[in-house]
A and B are shown apart, each in its own frame.
Chain A
Amino acid sequence: MNVAKLLDAKGLACPMPIVKTKKAINELESGQVLEIHTTDKGAKNDLTAWAKSGGHSLLKHEEDNDVLKFWIQKG
């Protein structure tokens, strides 16, 4: 996967992971992929819902120990 940008949101509590994700996505072109790392467990449902409502695609997510990783393609 061609990742345009990596956002490290580890250690940040809700709402900051999504606030930063939104900002990072705004700086990308449509079709580019943002990779996000977070330790906020609630991010999974929220990022999924946010991506859907914003017209972006959640391509993949993984859990690596306590770190949740997401790949979102800008719509």
Chain B
Amino acid sequence: MTLKVMTAKQLAEKVLNKDRLFILDVRNEDDFRDWKVEGENFQYVNVPYFELIDGIEPIANQVPQNQDVVVICAKGGSSVFVGEQLVDAGFDNIYTLEDGMQAWSQYLEKVRVYEDNNLKVFQFIRVGKGCLSYMVVSGQEALIVDPARFVDDYVKAAEKEGAKITHIVDSHLHADHISGGNMLAEMTGAKYYMMKSEGAVFNFEALENYQKIEFAQVQLEVLAVKTPGHTPGSVSFLVNDKLLFSGDTIFISGLGRPDLGNKVREWANDLFNTVHNKVSEIADDVIVLPGHYADLDTEINSEGYIGDTLGKIRKRNENMFKATKDEFLNRVEKSASSVKPPNFEEIVAINRGVEKVDSNKMQELEIGPNRCAVHHTE
């Protein structure tokens, strides 16, 4: 008997397939409480590895023999340490998550969202953090929306479609994860667009100067130039009047949180105007593709991606989409006291190019769950 290895990719498949799995998380209790691998049919036991140094007796009775068990730690060292002890004790159903939560945080699952004669759209689900990014392919060109920092994944995905990345857009300055936009632009020579009002200090194309980005058979409309809300320069992109990349403005189950700049009331007002003026002009059958999800199990659709038609989202969030301005502001303000994304101030500084850190530091700052969506629907 040996300890088997499970990769982040294999684990992501189990999450998306809603498989049954037993998770033995051996990180300390605070880290587990804060952030774990979420699966609809997963069972959990959390016992820190340092309680198991003298042996696995404390958990021997809690670990099942008749289903797969994956041992998870921060980086994949302690899970091997505990997993091997379980194997030595006679268990033959034990896996270790390779490179631990570190790998889990970084894994991107690629799903095809949409295809017609003019374009193909893929969604990249960062399952460990709930962040979404996108690739639009048309002819031999590709456009990336809100790339994560694992830029090789996008380059490979474009190559697979026989395309080259020529355009990169960031819908806003991200507060919860480090953008790959600048790195990917340097690597590919693609044009990188974001709002100038977001305050980035490196070279980029200011979205304020564009009403549309056009390439091959694609027309990417920069929605009314400015759809503020989450941050002052947040935009949405409407593609060929069929798909809306909503960034952090509209989610499947709610709206973005406008409270990260300590100007709740002012930004909530912007979000209200976005929802009631700009978004209300878009057709019901447009597919909304957001920048995040909060709960995979409820937000993933039958086709395996996170997205829904604008009409259905409007219906589900009627109290926000139909609220009076006062009701809207009060609801947003009430939800604004909730927890902020970990390290968001430092992540914002890095995404502006004001602060530079190495990849180890990036990884450390990004550890933890995503907390960008507010649920106004409760």
By a beta-carbon cutoff of 8 Å, the part of chain A in contact with chain B is 13-16, 18-19, 22, 41-42, 45-46, 49-50, 53
Contacts and interface: CB of A to CB of B under 8 A. Distances in A.
B73 A14 contact: yes
11 contacts: A14-B49, A14-B73, A14-B75, A15-B49, A15-B50, A18-B49, A18-B53, A42-B75, A46-B50, A50-B50, A53-B50
B30 interface: yes
Contacts of A50: 28, 48, 50
The 5 closest A-B pairs by CB, nearest first: A49-B28, A15-B78, A50-B50, A14-B77, A18-B50
A46 B50 CA distance: 8
Contacts of B74: 14, 42
A49 B75 contact: no
Interface of B: 28-31, 48-51, 53, 73-75, 77-78, 81, 364
A49 B29 contact: yes
Contacts of A13: 75, 77
Given A22-B50, A46-B50, A15 B31 contact: no
Given A42-B75, A50-B48, A15 B81 contact: yes
A25 to B, nearest CB: 11
B29 A14 contact: no
A63 B81 CA distance: 27
Nearest to A21: B50
B53 A46 contact: no
A10 B75 CA distance: 17
A22 B75 contact: no
Nearest to A14: B77
Given A45-B28, A45-B30, A46-B48, 14 more contacts: A14-B49, A14-B73, A14-B75, A14-B77, A15-B50, A15-B77, A15-B78, A18-B53, A19-B81, A22-B53, A41-B364, A45-B31, A50-B50, A53-B50
A14 B78 contact: yes
Contacts of A53: 48, 50-51
Nearest to A15: B78
Contact of B53 (A14, A19, A49): A19
A45 B33 CA distance: 13
B97 to A, nearest CB: 14
A68 to B, nearest CB: 13
Nearest to A45: B28
A19 B53 CA distance: 7
A5 to B, nearest CB: 18
A46 to B, nearest CB: 5
B75 A15 contact: no
Contacts of B75: 13-14, 42
B127 to A, nearest CB: 22
A46 B75 CA distance: 13
A49 B47 CA distance: 12
A41 B361 CA distance: 11
Contacts of B73: 14-15
B116 to A, nearest CB: 47
A53 B49 CA distance: 12
A13 B48 CA distance: 16
Nearest to A53: B51
Contact of B48 (A19, A22, A49): A49
A50 B26 CA distance: 12
Contacts of A19: 53, 81
Nearest to A42: B74
A24 to B, nearest CB: 12
